[in-house]
């Protein structure tokens, strides 16, 4: 029985996709066949019963497949397929899922006023599911959330990124607590993606001029709901080994490779759109990496006789640039030789001389070129990612615009997070009961969330307890596996069963372990940390995150936290480091903790989004008032650490660590353990409601995409 691809048949790659789906469907029994097309669109991953349907066919195999349904279905034993075919309840769920996803995908487009065509959303990384490891952290997850939300809102959009054959590194700790890195190869054959073919049926093969030679690439298509994501890939036989390495690793350690990646993403992305006859209404550059896309488009206008100045003036209206980096050092610069070595033929194609080309990418005369100044110059609308970050960006880039700081044309659109992805089942059920059917579509409206004030505390507390218990179960199972892999003593491996208390106040700290995130503040005063953790009112701490492979300081901080538990048997059961932070780990942590901790050095956290994900789940913040939390904290809906800037970072560290411990010891712990006769922490629950009612609407991806569609995308 042939199945049809309903993943937007208008779009290139649709026939390829239909063929792949048919091959997969042939392996399945009639009742399971609908799963073949579901597997090739990540919409299942944020549909409520989606993951559970796959898992319930065979939980062990689902885990082995890393949540990748194409690999999972392709590897099923015939006996498993037969057993599923004899399970009517399961087949009914397959049918219901198929109908839900089908209805979702088939809604008509909902174009926005002033946006006459698709938005081409360019980013160097996309994080939408752990089974597609082409992201490193917040930037990628945000990009993934924008695609998902655009899909939910039926906003026409196309994503453009790179397909990293080895993705981002995986993390393992050795028994001394030192981070080790390893890379796993992504195999497109067993992933939910198809190679885009040209009109002749052969795989599309394009090239971009890089380092004086053509770099060839092919194009993959991944469906993220209604949004096709095009991923460019230099792993083709026409390239030599070094050229093929261009898309091997995300943010490769070599500067020359990184420049080649940005060249491929920008110029190659635009060439792919042109080859597929897609004319975007808006070009959205998410961070500066893809900014050569605009120059590529300008070069085609110059080839038709326009001047560069005219071409850029005409394009600028259609280009949106979002900056995510609040420190100058975060915006990488290059020597003119490196820059011209990579992009040396652009000046000729743009009809300008080399110095004029360099000037486009310099933030100051004779300064080193970089992608961010270029993005600022070629875009007509620019934004930071929180109110505070907007201010910081205006101050930082004032010299480039030569205007008073307040007039620097950089606005802000505060980030948001995709609620359906990050909301755990217990809180989803509770909120759906009290906020009404369809509340997710109205998530940006504060009135939607007003309903939380009517939730009985007992019910709220039951959902929170359920969430925490699920997290404890997950962390125990994962840590036991981690310990086995590390070759720990079996007694220690078994001891995980006594680790963590499903009723104890649970703190979460999980993110990329960049130095400015100050993981080390947790152990700034080790004795005090031990006293709080080992106190009569139990507190437990879950930590997760990867340090950059070259960041020895980050690895040291990780090791210190790890050793905190090693040195002290009593708190060993109360501190767990969850290895290999990724979207899957994140989803579990943000839904099950009680308190989310974020201690960035102000103003380095442009936005931060993990705390938003936690907030939707009824998790309270205990965080520095930087990024989104500077905007979200109202004195009642969590706890804020002022974290004011200080010329001496050591002074700020000491002060902020003390405030953190003080708040934890004197406010957070007592409030959590203040219970009524039924064991419910009434005032804690009221705080959760205050947090949901305020943070829910403000930091949903729905509000974020509404803002982009209303303020940043319209071209007329
Ligand atoms: C949300 C998320 C991030 C970003 O979190 P921050 O709070 O911005 O650091 C990073 N990695 C993963 C896997 C995430 O889900």
What residue segments make up the domains of the chain, in order of their start?
14-105, 119-415, 422-699
pLDDT one-digit tens code per residue, 535-545: 899 999 999 99
Contact indicator for 225, 129 with CB cutoff of 8 Å? no
Q: What is the Cα–Cα distance from 414 to 388, expressed in whole angstroms? A: 9
**pLDDT at residue 252, rounded to an integer:** 82
Print burial letters for 218-239: b (CB count within 10 Å at least 16), e (below 16): bbbbbbbbbbbbbbbbbbbeeb
Length of the chain: 716
Quick one: pLDDT at residue 3?
31
Return the pLDDT at 190: 95
- If one residue of 126, 130, 137, 590 were mutated to test the ligand 1 pocket, choosing by the most ligand atoms within 8 A of its CB, it would be 137
Give the ligand 1 atom nearest the CA of 142. Answer: 1
Round to whole Å and give the CA distance between 64 and 52.
15
- Give the per-residue pLDDT at 466: 98
Helix (H, G, I), strand (E, B) or coil at 164: coil
Question: For ligand 1, what atom is nearest to the CA of residue 613?
Answer: 1
Supply the pLDDT for residue 568.
Answer: 67
Topology of 119-415 in CATH?
A: Rossmann fold (3.40.50)
According to the model, what pLDDT value does residue 567 have? 65
CATH topology identical between 119-415 and 422-699 = yes
Rounded Cα distance between 103 and 58, Å, is 27
Q: How far apart are the first and last CA of the chain?
A: 48
Residue 366: per-residue pLDDT? 87
pLDDT at 6: 37
Q: Best mutation site among 609, 628, 695 for ligand 1, i.e. most ligand atoms within 8 A of its Cβ?
A: 609
Per-residue confidence (pLDDT) for residue 9, from 0 to 100 = 39
- In the chain, pLDDT over 70 holds for what percent of residues? 98
What are the residue ranges in the chain where pLDDT is below 50?
1-10
Is pTM beyond 0.85 here? yes
Output the CA 189–ligand 1 centroid distance in Å.
28
From the number of C-beta atoms within 10 Å of its C-beta (0-12, 13-18, 19+), residue 655 rates as middle
Q: Which atom of ligand 1 is nearest to the CA of 583?
A: 13
C-alpha atoms less than 13 angstroms from C-alpha of 689 in its C-beta half-sphere? 21
Using CA positions, which residue lies closest to atom 1 of ligand 1? Answer: 610
Which segments within 473-553 are labelled E, that is strand?
A: 505-510, 539-544
How many angstroms does the Cα of residue 421 sit away from the middle of ligand 1?
13
Whether the CB-CB separation of 288 and 323 falls below 8 Å is answered with yes
- Which residues form the pocket of ligand 1, taking CB atoms under 6 Å from any ligand atom? 137-138, 141, 511-512, 582-583, 586, 608-611, 613
On whether the CB atoms of residues 236 and 216 are closer than 8 A, the answer is yes
pLDDT of residue 566: 67
Q: Give the fold, CATH level 3, of 422-699.
A: Rossmann fold (3.40.50)
Tell how far the Cα of 327 is from the centroid of ligand 1, in angstroms.
19
């Amino acid at each position: 029985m042939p199945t049809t691809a309903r993943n937007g048949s208008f779009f290139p790659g649709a026939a390829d996709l239909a063929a792949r789906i048919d091959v997969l469907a042939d392996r399945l029994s009639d009742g399971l066949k609908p799963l073949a097309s579901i597997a090739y669109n990540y919409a299942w991953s944020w549909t409520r019963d989606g993951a559970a349907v796959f898992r319930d066919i065979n939980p062990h195999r689902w885990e082995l497949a890393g949540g990748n349904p194409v690999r999972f279905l392709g590897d099923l034993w015939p006996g498993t397929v037969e057993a599923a075919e004899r399970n009517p309840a399961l087949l009914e769920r397959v049918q219901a899922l198929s109908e839900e996803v089908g209805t979702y995908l088939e809604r008509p487009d909902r174009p926005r006023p002033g946006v006459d065509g698709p938005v081409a959303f360019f980013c160097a990384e996309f994080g939408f599911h752990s089974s597609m490891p082409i992201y490193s952290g917040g930037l990628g997850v945000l990009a993934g959330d924008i695609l998902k939300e655009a899909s939910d809102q039926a906003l026409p959009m196309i994503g453009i990124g790179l397909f990293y054959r080895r993705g981002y590194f995986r993390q393992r700790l050795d028994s001394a607590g030192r981070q080790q890195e390893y890379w796993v190869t992504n195999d497109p054959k067993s992933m939910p993606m198809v190679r885009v073919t040209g009109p002749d049926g052969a795989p599309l093969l394009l090239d971009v001029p890089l380092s004086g030679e053509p770099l060839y690439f092919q194009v993959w298509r991944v469906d993220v709901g209604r949004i096709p994501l095009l991923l460019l890939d230099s792993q083709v036989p026409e390239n030599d080994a070094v050229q093929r390495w261009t898309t091997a690793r995300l943010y490769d350690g070599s500067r020359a490779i990184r420049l080649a990646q940005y060249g491929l993403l920008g110029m190659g992305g635009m060439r792919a759109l042109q080859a597929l006859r897609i004319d975007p209404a808006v070009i959205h550059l998410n961070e500066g990496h893809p900014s050569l896309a605009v120059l590529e488009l300008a070069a085609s206008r110059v080839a038709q006789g326009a001047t560069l100045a005219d071409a850029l003036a005409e394009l600028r209206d259609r280009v949106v640039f979002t900056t995510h980096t609040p420190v100058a050092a975060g915006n990488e610069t290059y020597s003119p030789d490196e820059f011209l070595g990579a992009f040396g033929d652009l000046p000729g194609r743009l009809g300008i001389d080399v110095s004029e080309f360099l000037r486009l990418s310099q933030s100051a005369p004779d300064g080193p070129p970089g992608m961010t100044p270029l993005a600022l110059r070629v875009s007509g609308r620019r934004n930071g990612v929180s109110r505070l970050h907007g201010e910081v960006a205006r101050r930082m880039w004032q010299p480039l615009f030569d205007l008073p700081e307040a007039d620097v044309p950089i606005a802000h659109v505060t980030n948001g997070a995709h609620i359906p992805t990050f909301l755990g089942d217990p809180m989803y059920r509770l909120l759906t009961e009290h906020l009404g059917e369809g509340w997710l579509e109205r998530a940006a409206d504060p009135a939607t969330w007003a309903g939380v004030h009517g939730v009985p505390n007992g019910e709220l507390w039951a959902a929170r307890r359920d969430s925490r218990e699920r997290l404890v179960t997950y962390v125990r199972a994962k840590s036991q596996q981690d310990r086995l892999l590390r070759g720990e003593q079996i007694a220690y491996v078994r001891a995980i069963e006594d680790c963590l208390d499903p009723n104890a106040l649970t703190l979460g700290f999980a993110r990329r372990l960049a130095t400015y995130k100050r993981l080390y503040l947790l152990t700034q005063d080790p004795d005090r940390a031990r006293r709080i953790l080992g106190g009569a009112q139990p507190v437990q701490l879950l930590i997760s995150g990867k340090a950059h492979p070259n960041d020895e300081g980050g690895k040291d901080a990780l090791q210190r936290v790890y050793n905190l538990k090693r040195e002290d048997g009593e708190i060993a059961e109360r501190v767990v480091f969850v290895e290999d932070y990724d979207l899957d780990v994140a989803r579990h942590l943000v839904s099950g903790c009680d308190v989310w901790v974020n201690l960035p050095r102000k103003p380095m956290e442009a936005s931060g989004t993990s705390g938003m994900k936690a907030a939707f789940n009824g998790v309270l913040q205990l965080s520095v008032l930087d990024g989104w939390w500077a905007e979200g904290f109202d004195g009642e809906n969590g706890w804020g650490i002022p974290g004011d800037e200080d010329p001496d970072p050591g002074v700020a560290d000491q002060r902020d660590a003390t405030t953190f411990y003080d708040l934890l010891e004197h406010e957070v712990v007592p409030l959590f353990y203040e219970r009524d006769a039924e064991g419910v922490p009434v005032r804690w629950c009221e705080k959760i409601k205050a947090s949901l009612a305020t943070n829910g609407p403000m930091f949903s991806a729905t509000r974020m995409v509404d803002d982009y569609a209303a303020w940043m995308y319209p071209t007329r």
